[in-house]
Amino acid sequence: MEWETAIRAELEPMVPYAPGLRVSEVRERSGKQTILKLSSNEHPCGPFPSALSAMEAVLPRLNRYPDGSARALRRELCARLGVDDEHLVIGNGSNELIRLIAQAVLRPGDEVVFAWPSFVVYPMVAQMSGATAVKVPLASGEVHDLDAMLAAITERTRIVFLCNPNNPTGTIYGRAAFERFLAEVPDHVLVVVDEAYFEFVTDPDYPDAIESFDGERPLAVLRTFSKIYSLSGLRIGYGVLPAPLAAATHKIREPFNVNTVAQVAAYYSLGDDAEVARRKAENQEQKTYIYSAFDRLGISYVRSETNFVYLHTDQPVEVFEALLGEGVIVRDFGTAPALRVGIGTPEDTRITIAAFEAVVDRLGGV
């Protein structure tokens, strides 16, 4: 086999997704028994109690294949979102839905427009499809520059990804800017709004993209159960898509792409709105403590509408390693002058602040 010619050339420049360091590895390196993994934006609490009970109940029946259509979950989501069943797709995390949409829409030579920095999967699916990734720099304040993104659209553009709130910066664009963008984007462009962190948002100007979904315009909205619902390990998300696009994704997704435990956990998580509100409030409270500590330590950061905080640093490698030495794992971006810190429990916040105090003292600043 001549692997150089057997494997698609589009895959050559791609780099596998880096999941980050393991807790056991950092414990061994740092000598600390308590390790905080704040690098993947996971919620610090476990799944909802109702979801845990439902998962335990279904375990004896895992000898059977899952419901390939996720009927019960689809019905509940349609009722809550006010959308028709033909527009809803359940995925193995919203990541799978991003890939399925790209597979359904993109052809070699097409263009994909997205802000940068943003979610790393967007350029990956563009490369995988033989399309050109068009990265539009964030505007001042680390926010999407929607006007610049409109200007970047050409006749070859097929998809625009909007990450709102944005990962890794935690920022949002407002309702008026989004409405203006939708009014001006050409009809041949599919707008995919990734709302993985929308449950954490407190800004009243945040535009819920599903409110703009009418089933006619080329608009898709993606969400996940990985964040505030604490189901990252089960990989389940959903998308609200125009009917023809939803039908296309059903043709190419795996027949049983979402496992039984994930479907049950998501279904029973949806009924606990009080716990969602509690987690949102606690997350907001812990961010205020992080902001206060960063202000006191002279650390530059971006105010966030998510469960993480993006900070600027001229020595990202040194700060990342120094935090590891304190038992705190954050997200690095190579030599890019920034780090991303997840928000945890009140005890996690105390440890995180102490770690940054030690690092600032050791390095003379961040």
Q: Would you kindly state where each structural domain of the chain is located, as residue ranges?
A: 3-46+273-363, 61-269
User: What per-residue confidence (pLDDT) applies to 86?
Assistant: 98
The mean pLDDT value for 19-38 works out to: 80
Kindly report, residue by residue over 309-357, the tens digit of the pLDDT.
999 999 999 999 999 999 999 999 988 999 999 999 999 999 999 999 9
Kindly report, residue by residue over 101-148, the tens digit of the pLDDT.
999 999 999 999 999 999 999 999 999 999 999 999 999 999 999 999
The mean pLDDT value for 280-302 works out to: 98
Give whole-number Cα distances, 153 to 103, 211, 345, in Å: 20, 24, 42
pLDDT grade for 4, boundaries at 50, 70 and 90: confident
How far apart CA 94 and CA 226 sit, in angstroms, is 9
Structure token pair of residue 19: 């999941």
User: What per-residue confidence (pLDDT) applies to 13?
Assistant: 82
Kindly report, residue by residue over 61-84, the tens digit of the pLDDT.
999 999 999 999 999 999 999 999
Residues 6+ apart with CB under 8 A from 174: 203, 205, 206, 207
pLDDT at residue 11 greater than cutoff 90: no
> What global pTM score does this model have?
0.95
Kindly report, residue by residue over 226-282, the tens digit of the pLDDT.
999 999 999 999 999 999 999 999 999 999 999 999 999 999 999 899 999 999 999
3-class state of residue 77 by DSSP: helix
The mean pLDDT value for 148-164 works out to: 98
The DSSP symbol for 364 reads S
pLDDT at residue 18 greater than cutoff 80: no
User: What per-residue confidence (pLDDT) applies to 26?
Assistant: 76
Residue with tokens 């399309």: 131
User: What per-residue confidence (pLDDT) applies to 8?
Assistant: 86
| Domain 61-269 fold | Aspartate Aminotransferase; domain 2 (3.40.640)
Mean pLDDT of the chain: 95
pLDDT grade for 3, boundaries at 50, 70 and 90: confident
How far apart CA 284 and CA 155 sit, in angstroms, is 42
How far apart CA 227 and CA 181 sit, in angstroms, is 27
CATH of 3-46+273-363, one of 3.40.50.2300, 3.40.640.10, 3.90.1150.10, 3.30.540.10: 3.90.1150.10
Structure token pair of residue 138: 């964030």
How far apart CA 162 and CA 346 sit, in angstroms, is 31
* Secondary structure element (H or E) that encloses residue 268, with its range: helix 260-269
pLDDT grade for 96, boundaries at 50, 70 and 90: very high
Give whole-number Cα distances, 326 to 146, 236, 320, 323, 359, in Å: 39, 33, 10, 5, 8
User: What per-residue confidence (pLDDT) applies to 10?
Assistant: 81
The mean pLDDT value for 13-34 works out to: 77
pLDDT grade for 28, boundaries at 50, 70 and 90: confident
User: What per-residue confidence (pLDDT) applies to 271?
Assistant: 86
Kindly report, residue by residue over 29-53, the tens digit of the pLDDT.
777 778 899 999 999 999 999 999 9
Contact 347, 323 (CB under 8 A): no
Residues 6+ apart with CB under 8 A from 317: 332, 335
Number of residues that make up the chain:
366
User: What per-residue confidence (pLDDT) applies to 124?
Assistant: 96
